Structure 1
Amino acid sequence: MLKEIYPHQSPQNLSIHGPCIGVNLADENDSHYLAHYKDVFEFAAKWNAKFIVVHTNEEFTGDKTVVRQRVQHRLQELLLLSKNYEIQILIENVGLQTKGTLLFDWKEYRELLVMLPEAGSLLDVGHAYINRWNLPNVIEQLGKRLIACHLHDNHGLSDDHLPIGQGTINWNVLFAAICSSVPKTTLVFEYANVDIQTALASIQATENSYLVQAAKITQD
C-alpha cells in the first residue's frame, strides 16, 4: 500500500507502530518478540521511519514487580537492536485500570523512562485519560522525552478511539499544555471505526480550532 501511495519516495515523518497482537513483552512464554521486532526495524529502515512505537504489555499474569522487570529487560534488548538501524524507540503508555491490564501506571511509567534514557515517550492521551492521569502535569514532567502523542477521544471508561470532540477529554487544556511544554512533539491522530472523510474533517477542525486557540492561550 505504501508503494502505491508513495511510488517514488518515502513519506515524510512516517512512524511505525510495533506489533501489539501476537507480541507481548510481558508474557514469559513469548519467545519470538525479538524476531518480530527485527522485521519491524527492517521495514521502518526501508521507509526512513522517524520512530517505532512499542507497547510495554498486553494482558499479563503474575507478580507485577516481576513482570515489570521482564518488560524492562526486553525493552533494553529492543533498544540495543534499534542501534543497528538508528531508529528511535518510543514507549507508549498502555493498559487500562478498567480492564486490569495497567502494568505501568504514571509512577511506574515515569520510572521506566528514567531507567531507559535512550527511549523516548509516546503519550497515548486516551489511555492516560481513562487511567486518570493529570495530563497537563504529565506533559510538563515528560518534557523533551515526549516525542509524540496519540490523539483520540473517549468518555473515560473504554478505549473508544473517537475523533477529537466526541468524548469528554478537555482538548483546550491539553493542547495548551502541549504548546507550552512540547510544541514540537509529533501529533498522531489514532482514530478507529470512522471513515476517511470524518477523520480528515476532524483533523482539519483540530488544526483550525484547538491548536490555534491553544497557541493563543500560551501567548497570553
Structure 2
Amino acid sequence: MTSLPLLGAAMPLDTLETLRDWVIADQRDLELQDFTTAEVLCGDWQPLVARAQTLLQGYEGRLGIHGPFWGLSLANLDFEVRALVSRRMLQGLEVCAALGATQMVIHSPYTTWDYNNLDNYPDARDRVVSLVHETLAPAVRRAEETGVTMVIENIEDIDTDARCLLADSFDSPAVAVSVDTGHAHYAHGSNGAAPVDYYIRRAGTRLRHVHLQDADGYADRHWGIGQGTINWASVFDAVAPLEGRARLILELRDKAQILPSARWLAERGLAR
C-alpha cells in the first residue's frame, strides 16, 4: 500500500455522472457543489439528494458539501443579515444530514481591509469573533448533533492565523479549518501574504480540508494542477504530517482537468 495521500475532488452531480467510477474505485473524498445557492436551498433540494444517493451507491468514502457562501459574511454588522446567514448555514447542514455528509465548507469572514484595519479600532478583532459566534451558534449546535464539521476556508485572508484562532474559539469538533491553495497563492502574490505551504503549516492539526487548485498569484484561477506557479512539492510536504486527516479536494473550474491534475500529481510522486 502506498503512503501517498489520496486525492479527492469537488464537483456537481453532473460531473459525478462521468467521474463516478474514479471516485468509488478508491473511495475518494468527495465534495458536492450543488447546494451553495439560495435558489437551491430555499427550494426543493430533495431530488438532488436522491440523485446523489443513486450515484453514490457503493460509495464508502468521506462525503462533504460546499456550503452556502454567496454574499454571506459570517461577521455582518447587520443583525437581520446575520439571521439570514444563520438560516443559510442551517439549510446547508440539513442537506448534509439528508446526504450523510460529514463536512461542510464555509467561508472566512476576514477581508484584505481587515488585515490593515482590525488593529486600527479598539476591540475590532474581538468584535469579529463575537459576530461570527452569534451567526454560527445555531449551526454549531446542529453540526455537533449530526456529526458534521464546518471547515472555515481562507478567502481574502492575508493573516494565516486569524481564522485558525477563530475556529479554536468555538472549542468544538464541529468547527475546523480549510486551506484553499489558490486563495493563499493569490494573497501571497497580490497582497504580500506568506506562501501557500505556510498557510497549511500554520493551520496545523486544525486542518481538516484542503482545496487544491493552481493559480498565478494574481487571481483566483482554479486552474488544473501544474498550470500555475504554486510549489506543489512544498504543499504536499506541509500536508504530510496530517496523515490523511485533511481531505485533499481538487477544486477546479474546468472539471475536465480533474483527472489530468490527479495524473500530474501522481507522476511526480506527490499523491495518488
Structure 2 distance, partners of 1:61, 1:123, is 20
Question: Does structure 2 conserve the Cα–Cα contact (< 8 Å) formed by 1:139 and 1:177?
Answer: yes
Question: Does structure 2 conserve the Cα–Cα contact (< 8 Å) formed by 1:56 and 1:94?
Answer: yes
Matched, 1:82 2:143: yes
* 2:42 counterpart residue number: none
* CA deviation map 1:100-143 (0-9, x unaligned): xx4x7213223223312322111111112222224334333422
* 1:113 counterpart residue number: 167
Matched, 1:73 2:134: yes
* 1:206 counterpart residue number: 265
Cα distance 1:58–1:19, how it changes in 2: closer, same or farther (>3 A)? farther
Structure 1 distance, partners of 2:90, 2:98, is 12
1:128 to 184, 187, 205: 184
Cα distance 1:23–1:140, how it changes in 2: closer, same or farther (>3 A)? closer
The residue type equivalent to 2:237 in the other structure is A
Structure 1 distance, partners of 2:251, 2:171, is 26
* 2:243 counterpart residue number: 183
SS where residue 206 of structure 1 aligns? helix
Structure 2 distance, partners of 1:162, 1:116, is 33
* CA deviation map 1:163-218 (0-9, x unaligned): 11111110011112212x213021011111x2x33322212322332415xx9xxx
1:43 to 66, 82, 95: 95
Q: Give the C-alpha shift of residue 5 in structure 1.
A: 5.2
* 1:55 counterpart residue number: 107
SS where residue 77 of structure 2 aligns? coil
Question: Does structure 1 conserve the Cα–Cα contact (< 8 Å) formed by 2:66 and 2:104?
Answer: yes
The residue type equivalent to 2:64 in the other structure is S
Matched, 1:145 2:206: yes
RMSD of aligned Cα (Å):
2.8
Gaps of 5+ in 1: 96-101, 216-220
Q: Give the C-alpha shift of residue 68 in structure 1.
A: 4.5
Cα distance 1:157–1:210, how it changes in 2: closer, same or farther (>3 A)? farther
Structure 2 distance, partners of 1:133, 1:58, is 16
Structure 2 distance, partners of 1:88, 1:70, is 20
* 2:63 counterpart residue number: 14
Question: Does structure 1 conserve the Cα–Cα contact (< 8 Å) formed by 2:214 and 2:227?
Answer: yes
Cα distance 1:33–1:200, how it changes in 2: closer, same or farther (>3 A)? same
SS where residue 260 of structure 2 aligns? helix
The residue type equivalent to 2:185 in the other structure is Y
Cα distance 1:110–1:86, how it changes in 2: closer, same or farther (>3 A)? closer
Gaps of 5+ in 2: 1-12, 14-47, 119-123, 188-192
Q: Give the C-alpha shift of residue 42 in structure 1.
A: 1.0
Cα distance 1:141–1:105, how it changes in 2: closer, same or farther (>3 A)? closer
Question: Does structure 2 conserve the Cα–Cα contact (< 8 Å) formed by 1:27 and 1:60?
Answer: no
* CA deviation map 1:9-39 (0-9, x unaligned): 4843211111111422122331312222221
SS where residue 89 of structure 1 aligns? strand
The residue type equivalent to 2:186 in the other structure is I
Question: Does structure 2 conserve the Cα–Cα contact (< 8 Å) formed by 1:56 and 1:91?
Answer: yes
